[in-house]
Amino acid sequence: MATTAAPSSAPTIFRRPASNTGFWSWITTADHKKIGMMYGYTAFVFFILGGLEALLLRIQLAQPDSVFLSASEYNAMFTMHGTTMIFLFVMPVSAAFFNYLLPLMIGARDVAFPRMNAVSYWIFVFGGIFLYSSFIFGTTGPPEGGNLAEVASRLGSAPNGGWFGYAPNSGLRFSSGTVMDYWSVGLQILGLASLISAINFIVTVFNMRAKGMKLLRMPVFVWMTTVVAFLLLFSLPIIAVALFMITFDRNVGTLFFDPSMGGDPILWQHFFWLFGHPEVYILVLPAMGIVSEVLPTFSRKPLFGYPAVVFAGAAIGFMGFGVWAHHMFSSGVTPITQAAFGLSTMAIAIPTGIKIFNWIGTVWGGKVKLNTPMLFSLGFVGMFVIGGLSGVTHSIVPADWQQTDTYYIVAHFHYVLFGGAIFGLFSGLYYWFPKLTGRMFSEALGKWHFWVFFIGFNLTFGPMHWLGLNGMVRRTWVYAEETGLGPWNMVVTVGAFIIALGVLIFMINWTWSKRHGPIAPFDPWDARTLEWSLPSPTPAYNFAVNPVVTSLDDFWHKKYSEDADGRPVRRPEATALLTEYEEVGLNPPEPIHLPNPSYYPFMVGVGMPMVGYGLIYDNTAWGIPLLILGAVIIVGSFIGWGVEPLEEPHAEHHPDEPGNEHPGTDGEDS
Amino acid sequence: MTRRSWIGIAMASSLFTACASGGPMDSLDPKGPIATDIDGLFRLTLNIATVIFVLVTGALLYAAIRFRDRGDRTPEPKQVEGNARLEVIWTVIPVLILASIAVPTVDRIFKYTSCADDALHIEVIGHQWWFEYTYPDDGFSTANVLVMPTETEICLDMSSDDVIHNYWVPKLNGKRYLVPGQDTVLLLRADEPGEYWGQCAEFCGLSHAKMRARVIAMTPDDYVAWLTEQQRPASVPVEGTIEQQGMDLFLGGQCVSCHNISGVTADNPALTAGAIYGPDLTHFSSRDVFAGAVLNHGDPNAIEDWIDNPPVVKPGSFMPNIDLTQQEIEALAAYLRSLD
């Protein structure tokens, strides 16, 4: 079969992609690991952009009555900072983890729909580029009837209505120009990417697990991925509808959110937060999954209360859909609504607490190695406790009337999303670095990164609690000196630059270690889950032989038995077993069919911004033709890939053929 | 726990609140019964949270340090997979703690979301970027500075003329939205006469940061006197003065298409028909602050700078730069200052 497939007679537009390395292999790949890598690197680029935006905000706020940024620039910066960090960094970098690790952790050779996976990635890339192209093409102006002393600069010509784009301020009358169209259409495109990958992950988890891997034998990271995928599946359609409505309000003349014609601006808030609160858990649950892998490994103990942690995660997912109005306690919703959502918000603290207590239980009584991934995971737990507790103070509804829309809230969600999600994600980046690259990172630089990050983070976001309680309102580009907010704001700005230094240390560590780090053994942490039974970096086919699982943490139990005290004892055959894993892992006994590369997922991505520009510029001569062209490219690409040949000579892995090595060894730098 | 650790927690909690204090918008320095009540609820929660924080992160740090890997001196750990009793304990205890703060929370929600029958009603309308206050029983409206009596429950009947705004005077109460097309209420009550700072808290466009508010609370007697003064028509300048030149400019130019001055401008139908309009200027200089409560009458050139080029002070301002000459600016400023 492998060598007999004749050149395809099916209709194709492009020459079939044939290279396994180099630029085109990355454009056409359907390998979940390459896609994961690309997700990660692309998201990191956006992380840098979002970080630079944050630094500009902080320079502006370092002193009272500052003139560093104009109002329109400041409004664009905070909108793009939030939108970038949420939709272009944390979500896609979580997708990077899901992509790379999910198949490895459940013992699969790829995701269920490899090319759909590539479609998700390319839609995300082009959606991000589209959103950012607002800085080049976007226009903005004062509200209808208002006056500006100067024309907005390019820096100020980006979406400027806040990441939750409240109506009617985001409507045409108050946001003339095109920047909010870039926002609503851009988020629509990005949401599509996440929706497609959510379906892909769900199907993968439920259909492609290794033999014997029952649901309650899945690693917690896989569980959290599954919960997140369901959250995406159910919450993204809500924001998609709302974004369509606001796009129509702006471009077609509907009046869903325009109160002057009977529309309801509060309805937008319900829509947005009905998506937006599950979104918070979409952002933080992947990190919780990572932490649930890292803590047991570095404590040399199984996760304490595995079923409790899993069910608490699922409970958070369910309850996450029932707390959205706590973002609206001051909106004038009825007292019954406020009471109900206050109570449900308190209730969500309970499963969150269960997770935290079980994590502490995991570390307790272990043999704790304080390596970089462990430091970041411990940091996650500590910072998340602060974010969780300040979250409980928001559920005290009258107190929230004081706190909402102030820096106290800004502090709270950065403790959850930065101290939580981002610390967890960095923990994961260090933890799986050897598996990704085949090399070890510098432990010294890693620890420097952690401590600089930890100090910078707390200097930045700790004082924001006080600023908020002392009356500093969110999204204000200047504050008066008499407010007395100057000194802490200066501290916050210094903290922000310390965080930037931490990111720099991380980048140095990553780029240096990737090329010059010591060669990693394939199980450097003496870990517990299946991916560590694979060579580092992971071969293209993942598993040379499909694994069979007999317990939770199967890999660990293959290495260790327990003595009468319940303490692990290394099995005498463990070393031989690992050697065998390594040999077989690099030399699959029979050819393995791998998903075909394809140009079409990339082309679907290319079509997306064309439709987007067409929608925004529908009143120009070229708008509608561009929209149609984009739609034709998208639909044509789906058809094109539908008729692609299933079997091709190069689609199989031949270990002995030169130039056909697994991608990790030579592909990453291209 | 020992007494010493309780003291430690109390100190940690008060250090936290001390760091947050001191400004004119300090929400931890309440000056009315509603804000005081909310503050008490917050401090109760903060104390509980501090205890939990110390215990939980203490346990985490203890575990990470006490059980750290010391090489051969640390034995391989027992492979404990969980403990059902502990799971129940750390589920039930948070439930009990949360239930104990849920009761006062729900009580206060209902207590502070509707006005008493004898409350004094004042209407607030949010505009980009200033607050308009109308005293419905007395038939006048003012801007930027809300004057109210002490020892009286004030019921603000609020709405918005454009986008969503959020009214916040932290020392008197929490926030409430002003929503276009909808009515919301907010209760205020001040114990003592004084000046309280406020600000629009919901992002409302370009000059959101410059949409501030000022509340002047005065004794009921002073308030009655103030009401009488506000109902008087505007002062009319003496013939031949610079103030009178200013008034002529005001009436002959664009100012009058947006601003009302009682007794001077004819009743302007545009001002009541829902078109964009500016603050009522009848007693303009009786208010300490103007232009969204960001400019101060104490600042000698504030009026001149403002009318010279409003969008410089407030980007997006609906008051345009109408290219006044220096002479015209001085005349208009003089007239505005005479509107006491």
**Is the predicted pLDDT of residue B237 greater than 60, yes or no?**
yes
Predicted local distance difference test score (pLDDT) of residue A647: 63
pLDDT of A421 above 50: yes
Which pTM does this prediction carry? Answer: 0.94
CATH number of the domain to which B180 belongs: 2.60.40.420
Task: Copy the structure tokens of residue A578.
Answer: 């690992």
Residue A423's domain comprises: 23-665
Distance CA A29, CA A31 (A): 5
pLDDT at B120 over 50: yes
Residue A201 lies in a domain: yes
- In this complex, do A149 and B311 lie within 8 Å of one another by their Cβ atoms? yes
Residue A434: how many CB atoms within 10 A of its CB? 24
Please give the Cα distance from B301 to B296 (Å, whole number): 9
Domain membership of residue B184 (yes or no) is yes
The verdict on a CB contact (< 8 Å) between B81 and A302 is: yes
Residue B236 in any domain: the answer is: no
Q: Evaluate if residue A452 carries a pLDDT over 60.
A: yes
Residue B259 covered by a domain: yes
Residues 53-72 of B with CB under 8 A from A: 53, 56-57, 59-61, 63-64, 67-69
**Each residue's pLDDT tens digit, A357-382:** 999 999 999 999 999 999 999 999 99
Structural domain of B333: 242-338
Of the two residues A434 and A590, the one the predictor is more confident about is A434
Question: Taking residues B304-309, what's their average pLDDT?
Answer: 95
Question: Which of B231, B254, B285 is at the close of a domain?
Answer: B231
Q: Do B162 and A174 touch (CB under 8 A)?
A: yes
Among B141, B175, B164, B172, CA closest to B272: B141
Per-residue pLDDT at A594: 85
Q: What is the pLDDT of residue A593?
A: 84
Q: In a 10 Å sphere around its CB, with 0-12 CB exposed, 13-18 middle and 19+ buried, how is residue A214 labelled?
A: exposed
Mean pLDDT to the nearest integer, B264-276: 65
B134 and B90 both lie in a single domain: no
Other beta carbons within 10 Å of A333: 19
State percent of chain A over pLDDT 90: 85
CA distances (Å), origin A588, targets A25, A437, A584, B124: 22, 20, 6, 75
Question: Which of B92, B111, B130 marks a domain boundary?
Answer: B111
Distance from CA of A191 to the nearest CA of B (A): 24
Residue A657 has what pLDDT?
Answer: 45
For residue A655, pLDDT over 70 is answered with: no
pLDDT at A152: 82
Question: Which residue in the set A368, A370, A398 is minimally distant from B109, CB to CB?
Answer: A398
Tell me how close the Cα of A226 comes to any Cα of chain B, in angstroms: 23
**What pLDDT band is residue B264 in, cutting at 50, 70 and 90?**
confident
Euclidean distance between CA atoms A315 and A94, whole angstroms = 20
Average model confidence (pLDDT) for chain A? 92
Interface test with A, best of B76, B257, B314 (most A CBs within 10 A): B76
Percent of chain A, pLDDT > 70? 93
Residues above pLDDT 90, as percent of chain B: 83
**CATH number of residue B9's parent domain:** 1.10.287.90
The whole-angstrom distance between B34's CA and the closest CA on chain A is 10
Contacts of A169 in chain B (CB under 8 A): 163-164, 203-205
Number of structural domains found in chain A: 1
Token representation of residue A539: 């071969």
Average pLDDT of span A523-552: 93
Total domains in the fold of chain B: 3
Residue with tokens 């998506």: A275
CA distance A229 to A224: 8
Please, are residues A78 and A57 in contact by the beta-carbon 8 Å criterion? yes
A400 has pLDDT over 80: yes
Mean pLDDT throughout B210-222?
97
**Under 8 Å between Cβ of A518 and A443:** no
> Residues 295..334 of A with a Cβ closer than 8 Å to B: which?
299-302, 304-308, 330-332, 334
Task: Identify the closest residue of chain B to A393 by CA–CA distance.
Answer: B45
pLDDT at B1 over 50: yes
Residue A462 falls inside a structural domain? yes
Tens digits of per-residue pLDDT, B314-330? 999 999 999 999 999 99
Q: Could you say which residues from 56 to 85 on chain A have a Cβ atom under 8 Å away from some Cβ of chain B?
A: 70-72, 75
| CATH of residue A647 | 1.20.210.10
Does B52 map to a domain?
yes
Whether residue B190 is predicted with pLDDT greater than 80 in this model: the reply is yes
pLDDT at B254: 87
d(CA B224, CA B298): 25
Residue A329 lies in a domain: yes
A363 interface with B at CB cutoff 8 Å:
yes
Q: Is residue B161 part of a domain?
A: yes
